Structure 1
Amino acid sequence: MRLVFAGTPDVAVPSLEALVASRHEVVGVVTRPDARRGRGKSLSPSPVAARAAELGLPVLKPEHPRDPQFQDALRALAPDCCPVVAYGALLPTPVLDIPTYGWINLHFSLLPAYRGAAPVQSAILHGESETGAVTFLIVPALDAGPVCGEIRTPIGARETAGDLLTRLASSGAQLLVETMDRIEDGTAEFVEQPAEGGTYAAKIEVEDAHVDWGAPVDVIDRVVRACTPAPGAWTTLDGQKFRLHEVLPTDTPSTDPGRVDQEGRRLFVHTGTGRLELLRVQPAGKKAMEAAAWANGLHTDTIRFGR
């Protein structure tokens, strides 16, 4: 089939590469416009746009899919199907109608659970033991189209959102290729999602990553893992932001949420139910470091995190 791939961030690149290596012909790529990134805030292409350029593929970067010029350019590419991974913009009905077999989205959850922008982070936040990825036909309603393919995987006890998303990006890329194969072969089966049981996974904002030390220790652990690497779990120390990159929950009794105990080179924070060991941290104005290294530089016996 002739495919036009749509995607924007790093997590979409494995799918683009897998489709290019498949029996199908990728004739173009749709991605978000260049954005200001990095410390210099200079305009740079999305990861998908950069990889597409390396592969010699035509790249379309509409400000919005409603743009008539974009729609004309997409029609000119005459796609049979448009596979999508984290494109980042809603597609209006006239655009959905262009490819013969529609737009097929790879979504990193077991729909109808966790529709929306942050399915992997939300699965960890809610303590799920299993997640996965599905391919489904895009319809005007958010992540509500019929499902064609599914993979499942356990969530590791110490797995971060970044770790899990990397795994799903790889296995999901193969699922997306298999879905394209079945559509071309005429063997694809689309199953409507249940009318009940859908949940929404909103984008995780910086304030959502602010640790509440009065919460149970396992809840705080999930916040840290779900917000790693972005937006990054944090607390405050002496009024400045203090980031938490890696922690380990314990069942040691806790008495004073927010207080830090130093035991040799190990640091433990009291929470609402137990102590949380700090493994990797980032004090304000410094690079991420092992908590033991930070402990070596402390010159006080009393440490208390805010909130």
Structure 2
Amino acid sequence: MSRVSLQGRVAVVTGAARGVGELLARKLSARGVKVALVGLEPDELKQVAARLHGEGEYWHADVTDPEAMARVAVEVKERFGRIDIVVANAGVATGGPFVDSDPESWRRVIEVNLIGSAVTARAFLPALLETRGYLLQIASLAALTPAPMMSAYCASKSGVEAYAHSLRGEVGHRGVKVGVGYLSWTDTDMVRGADQDDVMRELRQRLPWPTNKTYPLGPAVERLVDGIERRSAHVYGQWWLRGMQSVRGYLPAIIGTGGQREMRRFGDRLDGRRIGLVGAGGAADEQGRAQGRKDAGVQGRKGAATVRK
């Protein structure tokens, strides 16, 4: 598959304050891309924008807010003149047994990872249709295989994979390409946050190789950039994930059997476990929602999008 020059293109990256989004924005910028950063942490976004190699600005917005994201889309196009690439990367995670899970955190994972991705695409697709651009939806190993203690995250990532595949068929004839990016456990704040729970950490360590490793961020993001340059339908952050596609149909039965064994092993350690959103990104999301509720109580609902120049 041929590569497309990224020089002078305009890319929008959600969840750009840290982790995959931050490094992806910087690597795209190093290839001559003008980058619009979108996220919930304005101070961190400002720092990322300052480290970009070329033009870039940041927008503070919640990807689940349609009005805010629509305004961001208008403002990004006004600022840069066009939009060629959108990376729907924003995501949060929680873990633990479903029966004891915090309903609000469980629902929020679905809202951010799945609904937020759709809101992002809805806001930016008109601009991508004008440029015959490329949308990269970040999914996960969790879209390929279920996992105990990760019901919300697996459901959300399976959902965005199916949604992106459907969207590809709808917009391809109009020149817009849609790709799905798959990542295994990658060294980010989210994964490190999940590992702070001893049961989640031990469960992951007991997974079969190569799914039990934490992989460095840099090579995974380089593969994402390569996929963007190729406008690929599928992008794999770790080489072995491509092979998972051929066996994914067998995995639910295997995980169902093995998962029961592992749940029995941990026994009473699982009782009553309730885990909120993990990592610094999860904390930022919870803080942002708490502030939003506070502001709504005082002033009524306000739009979430602001731009810093």
TM-score bracket for the superposition, by shorter chain length: 0.3 to 0.5
TM-score (norm 1): 0.42
Larger radius of gyration, structure 1 or 2?
1
* Greater relative CO (CA pairs within 8 A, separation 6+): 2
Higher strand proportion: 1
TM-score (norm 2): 0.42
